[in-house]
Amino acid sequence: MSKKENFLKGFFKENPIFVFLLGMCPALATTATFETALGMGILVVFVLTASNIVISMLRKIIPSDVRTPSYIVVIATFVTIVGMLTEWLAYDLYAALGVFIPLIVVNCLILGRAEAFASKNNVIDSAIDGLGMGLGFTFALVVIGVIREFLGSGSVMYGNYLPFLVDAPINLFTLDWFLGPNVSIADYALSMFMSPAGAFIALGLILAVMQNKNVRKTEKLEKEKKAMIAEKKRIALDKKKQTALKKVGDAS
Amino acid sequence: MSWTVFVTAIISAMLINNVILMQFLGICPFIGVSKKTSSAIGMSAAVLFVMVIASAVTYTIYDLVLAPYNIDYIGTIAFILVIASLVQLLEMIIKKYSKTLYKALGIYLPLITTNCAILGVAESNITNIWTDSLPYAQGLFLAVSTAVGTGLGFGLILFAFSSVRERLDSANIPKAWKGVPISLVVAGIMSLAFAGLVGVI
């Protein structure tokens, strides 16, 4: 596998959330808004890359009998560091994510990558794998977050939780202009999508769209296969016919 | 320290702040182990068992060791190590003393170390219950009752959900929705029903 393939596989082909259903707790809990989803994703990218690098460095030292506890300790250390940094740099995000920052420790995605990739590959490949998988996870979280925030409030905001780049909260995208002055889209939005129930339903809808694509693909492949088999049968039959005709012609 | 405190904590943790539908903890077993009712019951019994013991132990460690010496920043590392070794220890004890219990819970115990509901309850016990002035016994009582309520709530939802999924298997569902997507929508509808209980206490 080339380095580019290794990096890109986390986005679509092996996306942790949409394909493998790993790390579902943060995918449902932290995606009420685009910003909390992005923040959670960034934290996971940091932890996953750092822990992959360290575990890959230690892969020949750690005895295989106690590897899971050792991995958990490495991951928990980085989670603690990242949690402290978040508390310092973006306190609003820290407060909004709450218990889900320490819970990155038990995210199946991180332990899974440590077990399946970092413990068998060299440091550079493990770092690329961690970065790619983390960004794929972030991508999935952001997709869910944007859909939920847009359906739930009618606009997508930036600046409430992440204080970087902007001074005051700004609207990245809104439908307010569509309704004219004095009316706000927030009055017409489906606020259910911001609530816990909406999390399940939104993720269910997204997964159904993905599954629909796969079903279509397999159906198309099957159709092509059937067509190919029919074509081969026809050719074979034609050949038989021709040889039979030849024989008849030779005989006569 | 009275029965009212106990009952209030249990009801609020079990029904109002349900661990799966409202707090999104333990989603992996919720989707992974809910295909059959029998495995759902086994899993929720194991979770209840470990959750109560783990909350008592982590609260004790935090109150008696981490907080007095101002090393509460290593809380997460300490908790996950305690939970992992506790699960291992429980597995050994159960294997030695009760073959029937081991048969019922054995295969679920290793999965529990990475179940975020256990660590989540331990962490939120510290943020929600623990304060400097609260006496140790009272705090421990509250932590344990919250853990009992959370474990019961987990079991209730897992059981109800697995019953629904057994029916879904024989239902005529469009191909695109089969499996996880329709289950998530079912969970969403259940969550909508539970949202009606907010504000009861």
Instruction: Summarize pLDDT for A137-167 with one digit per residue, the tens.
Output: 999 999 999 999 988 888 888 888 887 877 7
Task: Rounding to the nearest 10 degrees, give the CA dihedral for residues B124, B125, B126, B131.
Answer: 130
Q: Is B125 on the interface with A (CB under 8 A)?
A: no
pLDDT tens, residue by residue, B32-79:
778 888 888 888 888 898 899 999 999 999 998 888 888 888 888 999
- Interface touch A25/B116, C-beta < 8 Å: yes
Q: For every residue of A181-238, which 3-state class applies, written as one string? A: CCCCHHHCCCHHHHCHHHHHHHHHHHHHHHHHHHHHHHHHHHHHHHHHHHHHHHHHHH
Chain A contacts to B (CB-CB under 8 A):
21, 24-25, 28-29, 68-69, 72-73, 76-77, 79-80, 83-84, 98-99, 102-103, 105-108, 111, 192, 195-201, 203-205, 207-209, 211-212, 215
Residues of B in contact with A201 (CB under 8 A): 184-185, 188-189
- A205-241 residue pLDDT tens: 999 998 999 899 999 999 999 999 999 999 999 999 9
How far are the Cα atoms of A226, A235, A239 from residue A231, in angstroms, in the given order?
Answer: 9, 6, 12
- DSSP state at residue B171: S
pLDDT of residue B146: 92
Question: Which chain A residues are Cβ-neighbours of B120 within 8 angstroms?
Answer: 99, 103
Give the lowest-confidence range in A51-65, A109-123, B88-102, B146-160: B88-102
Cα–Cα distance between B152 and B17 in angstroms, integer? 12
* Closest to A103 measured CA to CA, from B188, B153, B156, B75: B75
The pLDDT confidence band at residue B1, using thresholds 50, 70 and 90, is low
- Residue A120 host element (H or E): none
**A111 vs B contacts (CB less than 8 Å):** 114
Q: Cβ A76–B76 below 8 Å, yes or no? A: yes
Beta bridge partners of A158: A170
Burial status of residue A19 (CB atoms within 10 A of its CB: 0-12, 13-18, 19 or more): middle
Q: Over the Cα atoms of chain A, what is R_g?
A: 26
Is-contact A126 A11, C-beta < 8 A?
no
- For chain A, count helices (H), then strands (E): 9, 2
Please judge whether A106 and B77 are an interchain contact, meaning their C-beta atoms are less than 8 angstroms apart: no
ipTM of the complex: 0.86
Judged against a pLDDT cut of 80, whether residue B173 lies above it is answered with yes
Spell out the residues 6+ positions from residue B36 whose beta carbon is closer than 8 angstroms to its own. Answer: B162, B166
Report whether pLDDT(A169) > 70.
yes
Query: Does residue A69 have a pLDDT over 90?
Result: no
Closest Cβ–Cβ partner in B23, B123, B176 for A102: B123
Say which residue, A50 or B87, is predicted with more confidence.
Answer: A50
Question: Where would I find the H helices in B62-199?
Answer: 75-97, 99-105, 109-112, 116-128, 136-169, 180-195
Q: Which of A36-50, B86-100, B154-168 has the lowest mean pLDDT?
A: B86-100
Q: What is the arithmetic mean of pLDDT over B132-161?
A: 90
Measured CA to CA, the distance from residue B22 to residue B32 in angstroms comes to 19
